[in-house]
Amino acid sequence: MSKKTKAIGEAISRIDGILKVTGRAKYSLDFAVKNAAYGFLIKSEIASGKIIDIDTKLAEKAEGVIAVITYKNALKLKNTRRMRGGAMLQDDNVRYFGENIGIVVAETFEQARYAISLVKVKYQKSEAKTDLNEIKNLAIQSRSRQDEIKGDVEKAFVDAEIKLDETYVTPIEHHHTMAPHSTVAVWDGDEKVVVYNESQIVRGIQAAVSLAFGLLRKNVRVVSPHIGGGFGAKGGAWGHVAICVMAAKMVKRPVRLALTRQMMFNSVGLRQKNVQNIKLAATKDGKLTALAHETITHTPIDQEFVEACGDVSEKMYEVPNLKTSYKVAPMNIILLTFTRAPGKSTGSFALESAIDELAYKLKFDPIEFRLKNEPKKDPISGKPFSSRSLVECMQAGAKKIGWNKRKFEPRKNRVGDYLIGYGLGCGTYPARQRMTSALVTLKKDGDEIKATIELGASDLGTGTYTIVAQVAAETLGLPVSKVGVKIGDSNLPPAAGSVGSVGAASFSNAIFECCEKALTELQAKTNVNWVKKPTVLELMQATNVNEFQTRTDTRPLAETRNYSAHAFGANFAEVWVNESTGMVKVKRFVTATGAGRILNPKTAESQMHGGVIWGIGMALTEESEVDPRWGNFVTRTLADYHIPANLDIGEIETIFIDEKDKYVNKLGVKGIGEVGIVGVAAAVANAIFNATGKRIRNLPITPDKLV
């Protein structure tokens, strides 16, 4: 044991890895609950209208059925403002195809699933809005996203020497977490409930359930030690959570509710379709003079959610005249939600494709063009960047990918029937820290010290357990093996959620401060004038205690507000396009990122790989198709919603720029969960243009668009 223990920045394998590969990691449905019943949701089969009647008599008589709950007999919820997506059996309205309109509770899962086939529903249909192409001309100004205007874009565009005016379309996408959503609800009387639910924000589920059922927050316990992926879909409480808790209360038994993969399409949100118009203006020597980024999208008929597609345009390049705007068209589709790098991944496809197009028009190398328009400060706020390593990212990535092999004119690189191209797409994501509390307990047994860290954080599968242990180990001077981590429980000190790339920065700084506080408080108790900094063992021996505990409530640094804090990255793709079939293979991909201090290169690299793979899927294969006649998704399983498989992905190389940011937070940590996907789709699309000469502005880029 040594105070010089080095753990932060080490490529340590996940401390929870053995639990996962041996099947001992517990997800919601893995918790043993006595006398549990099983629920299965009843879904609407129209996109808009009212329920005239639900006949549940046959279902209620079916073997094993305990209850059939619909709007007719459901509990009335107190306050549903923290619940997502409506669909909590509170009225007879139908707002989208697949809305929850009931639940069957039975002794077994199979009995519940069979019984829903016996439920007969009569509807009064009304005209549904199910096709954005038909209603986008009716789009109105967003209420939640205001226009950002700097200078006079219209005049600058009229006066410009070189112009670009193009529209880019990104489709609906779904999250498709490895673990589908599931909930188990266990009541203790009428005033207390335990909810097992995979959640990116443990306290968020607690707040939503307490409000909905009129309970004291402390009487709602949420347990979520492992999540199985979330990507934004598990960031809040969806309707099925309330229905499960309601059903358990009504049947006076624990209820287990698991969503099928098909249910995931219309139960837990999605990434909306975005139609983005980009206007760029520049001088002949390559200086941008104007940038307009207008987004038209759809939103549910009774709520509004809009991806901030224009955010990247406000941060990436120096431009004197800039405008971002948003218009929305209400549609009969489930509530949209945050999806990995919301707005930035989709917005970067449009912006970075347009930048590539303008560079080609100006006969500039894409890197040279970006360097010419690199800002010295935040283009909108005017604040200095806490750190910005985009130039270094482009330089390092270009060297690694072999950018010098790229030909300026398309169709000049060929091997047999394959056209080879290279593309660049850059991106950014805010670096933020949120309030987080942490508790450390130190125990001495002879000459051995063990620490336990507790906080209500969550682990999406990205390595939270491990980085928490690493920060505590280095701060306390203990081996990582002597640090235990407890997270994923609302009974623990409140913590930031694993959303918006705030988790790592928030958790690590809270743990650092908590462990530092423990050492300081122990030293204050010793009344010893130490010649050198004592170890935690020496401190506990000097104070003659075998156990010590302390807690911190950590806030972001006040001075961070004086800076524009972001992670930046440059993505390089090498694609091989079969000229005969139009099939695209991303042979190599290099991602170079400036994201402050990297807590664990091994888990960080894994995160970046995940972002790249998702971005490649976004570029080439992923699309959720709505049948406009009915409003349901025709892509309803992983057989027809195509996510990349191993053979679809070539070599991925990850570079982290050595970036020391002393302003963003005490440890200089920036989140990387989101930035890894930003700019990836654009890099692939730009490489395809470089290979084929075909500019595809409508994702995904399927073979039929290239042949």
Both 113 and 194 in a single domain? yes
In a domain, 93, yes or no: yes
Contact by Cβ (8 Å): 474, 216: no
The CATH number assigned to the domain holding 679 equals 3.30.365.10
pLDDT category of residue 279 using cuts at 50, 70 and 90: very high
The CATH number assigned to the domain holding 37 equals 3.90.1170.50
Please report which residue ranges of 25-162 form alpha helices under DSSP H.
57-61, 109-115, 132-135, 153-159
Q: Out of 357, 538, 574, 674, pick the active-site residue.
A: 674
| Backbone angle region of 508, left / alpha / beta, with phi > 0 → left and psi within -120 to 50 → alpha | alpha
Contact by Cβ (8 Å): 76, 68: no
Strand-pairing partners, residue 594, are: 568
Contact by Cβ (8 Å): 85, 269: yes
Using the 3D structure, point to which of 514, 534, 555 is the last residue of a domain: 555
Q: What is the mean pLDDT of residues 168-177?
A: 97
State residue 513's pLDDT score: 98
Helix crossing, 344-362 with 601-620: angle to 10°? Answer: 70
Using the 3D structure, point to which of 242, 266, 290 is the last residue of a domain: 266
Which residues lie below 8 Å from residue 355, measured CB to CB, with a gap of 6+?
280, 317, 366, 369, 370
The yes-or-no verdict on residue 95 having pLDDT over 50 is yes
State residue 287's pLDDT score: 98
Both 114 and 223 in a single domain? yes
By three-state DSSP, how is residue 683 classified?
A: helix
In a domain, 591, yes or no: yes
In a domain, 114, yes or no: yes
Q: What is the mean pLDDT of residues 99-120?
A: 98
The answer to whether the predicted template modeling score (pTM) of the entire model surpasses 0.95 is: yes
| Known catalytic membership, residue 559 | no
The yes-or-no verdict on residue 87 having pLDDT over 90 is no
Using the 3D structure, point to which of 247, 266, 285 is the last residue of a domain: 266
Contact by Cβ (8 Å): 429, 664: no
Please report which residue ranges of 86-136 form alpha helices under DSSP H.
109-115, 132-135
In a domain, 134, yes or no: no
Lowest mean pLDDT among 2-6, 11-15, 59-63, 574-578: 2-6
In a domain, 424, yes or no: yes
Both 225 and 79 in a single domain? yes
In a domain, 440, yes or no: yes
Both 188 and 254 in a single domain? yes
In a domain, 322, yes or no: no
By three-state DSSP, how is residue 613 classified?
A: helix
In a domain, 240, yes or no: yes
* Separation CA 402–CA 639 (nearest Å): 36
State residue 587's pLDDT score: 98
Both 412 and 516 in a single domain? no
What is the percent of the chain with per-residue pLDDT over 70, rounded to a whole number? 99
Count: domains in the chain: 3
By three-state DSSP, how is residue 689 classified?
A: helix
**DSSP annotation of 624:** P
Both 199 and 77 in a single domain? yes
State residue 281's pLDDT score: 98
Both 460 and 607 in a single domain? no
Q: What is the mean pLDDT of residues 466-494?
A: 98
In which domain, by residue range, is 624 found? 340-432+564-705
Both 118 and 251 in a single domain? yes
pLDDT in tens, 645-696: 999 999 999 999 999 999 999 999 999 999 999 999 999 999 999 999 999 9
The yes-or-no verdict on residue 3 having pLDDT over 60 is no
Both 123 and 245 in a single domain? yes
Both 601 and 677 in a single domain? yes
Both 508 and 636 in a single domain? no
Both 464 and 427 in a single domain? no
pLDDT category of residue 1 using cuts at 50, 70 and 90: very low
